[in-house]
Amino acid sequence: MTIVADGIRYALGGFAGGLLTAWLTGVPLTAVPFFVFALFCLWFFRDPERTIPDGPVAVSPADGKVMAVKPESGRTRISIFLNVFDVHVNRTPVGGTITSVQYKPGDFLVASKEVASSQNEQNVVTVRLQDGVEVTFRQIAGLIARRIVFNRQEGETLRMGERIGMMKFGSRMDVLLGPEWNVVVNPGERVIAGTSLLARRKDVA
């Protein structure tokens, strides 16, 4: 399984810190917390391969639990909460061209709360499909997750389910879908990034 580079760096730091602490104190057991932290980082920053479905669909951009499916400004918002045990690598829900990337500063409220969609720090990305339909998704920081990573740029073309970044240590993702979509997911369901379907196009066979 692939490990995100940040996780490898954190793990190396943990192992080095443990060895140094054990050497300075002369007590090998003092290294144990550092080694546990290092192993946790390797596990947390895992990046498994996913099987991306075909067809006119939108897939989940994140592993997690669907917290809400509700209307917002003429579209349907699907909110997904990632806990600390979920894979935190994010993927684009649809394929197309990135037309907008907007960083919005904000609070660091608990990401599972409804208010986090509007008040928390977030990165808002819009992707335009070949037929002109646009889908927007938000990477939203949480109480612990205070670093949003987005490694794509406006103008880039993405394939559905392609990796676009990650959020560290618990967070939230919202997907905004227009009336062209028939949502097939419900609150309470667990979804997997790049694999689980969120919606199907109504007007495309």
| Residues ≥6 apart with Cβ < 8 Å to 23 | none
CB atoms within 10 A of CB 199: 24
| Residues ≥6 apart with Cβ < 8 Å to 55 | 200
- How deeply is 85 buried, as exposed, middle or buried, from its count of CB atoms within 10 A (0-12, 13-18, 19+)? exposed
Q: Strand 190-191 and strand 89-91: pairing?
A: unpaired
CA atoms within 13 A on the CB side of 196: 19
Tell me the C-alpha distance between 79 and 124, whole Å.
Answer: 13
Say whether 171 is catalytic: yes
Tell me which of 60, 112, 117, 171 is the catalytic residue: 171
The residues that are catalytic are 171
